[in-house]
Amino acid sequence: MSALNSVFRPLRMVLLAGVAALALGACASNRTSVSASADYSGLSAAQSQQSVAELMARYKANPRDKGLAIHYAAALRAVGQSQQAVSVLEISLGQNPRDPDIAVAYAKALTADGRFDQALQVLDNVIRPEAPDWNALLVKGAALDQLGRNGEARALYTQALVLAPGEASIEANMGLSYAMTNELTQAEQHLRRAVQMRGATSRIRQNLALIVGLQGRFTEARALYGAELPPEQVESNMAYIRALLTQQNRWDLIEKS
């Protein structure tokens, strides 16, 4: 899924489209080399389709490989095939019922498919209160944010930051959580921290551009987008921001630029 597509969604969905994939990239890092990086969200449409085809062939040849299952599911989500990603990970979880990496990846796929309550059930079974995994907390926070339980989500992000300080995905989730409740100043603060941290991606920088644009700072937003996207996508994103502001009747609250 392209960054442009993730922007053309209601603001409530920005967290899911923009950050949730990042959590899987970290939690999928296990002992197999294939799990070094399970984030396919930044690829072009052609690259995403190629990744799906290649991973599908490898997965069919070795469906019991945990790392391949996680990667294949991540690639499927990147092209919008969240239901198929859920199916892949259901099979893998059946083969590895106590594997926390697969459980978190499964919850990730469920969240992408809009099955937030089910994702929370899976995560509650895998998160150990005495030793929580920050990636699991991150995915749980994303599901809670989608359910409108933003305060609970932010408490989990705060806990995750203690466990993994300096992780861009956590600060980005926090920022987008504030964006979902229209607290754009706080959202920008967290996203600006995120873009300076390890693991910061083009998607996070584009989400910062979105939040800047939603505050009416169009010149700055266009420059931020311009550093990440080709000109036609920049203008499409800017047109979307203006349309969203019109729908929200915010034009009288911002300075034009």
DSSP helix/strand/coil, 198? strand
pLDDT for residue 124 = 93
167 forms bridges with which residues in the sheet?
A: 198
pLDDT for residue 250 = 58
- Tell me the domain boundaries of the chain: 3-253
pTM above 0.95, yes or no: no
Query: Cα separation of 89 and 32, whole Å?
Result: 17
CATH code of 3-253, in short, is: 1.25.40.10
pLDDT for residue 141 = 95
pLDDT for residue 149 = 95
Tens-place pLDDT, residues 164-196: 999 999 999 999 999 999 899 999 999 999 999
**pLDDT of the chain along its 257 residues, tens only?**
333 333 334 454 444 443 333 333 343 333 333 333 467 776 778 888 898 999 999 999 999 999 999 999 999 998 889 999 999 999 999 999 889 999 999 999 999 999 999 999 999 999 988 888 898 999 999 999 999 999 999 999 999 999 999 999 999 999 999 999 989 999 999 999 999 998 888 889 999 999 999 999 999 999 999 999 999 999 999 999 998 888 766 555 454 43
CB burial string 113-146: b at 16+ within 10 A, e below: bebbebbbebbeebbeeeebbbbbbbbbbbbbbb
Assign residue 164 a region: left if phi > 0, alpha if psi is -120 to 50, beta otherwise?
A: beta
pLDDT for residue 251 = 53
Residues sharing a CB contact under 8 Å with residue 76, sequence separation 6 or more, in sequence order? 52, 82, 84, 85, 88
pLDDT for residue 145 = 92
pLDDT for residue 20 = 39
Q: What's the CA angle centered on 167, arms 161 and 114, to 5 degrees?
A: 85
pLDDT for residue 249 = 62
Q: Contact, 193 vs 31, CB < 8 A?
A: no
pLDDT for residue 245 = 87
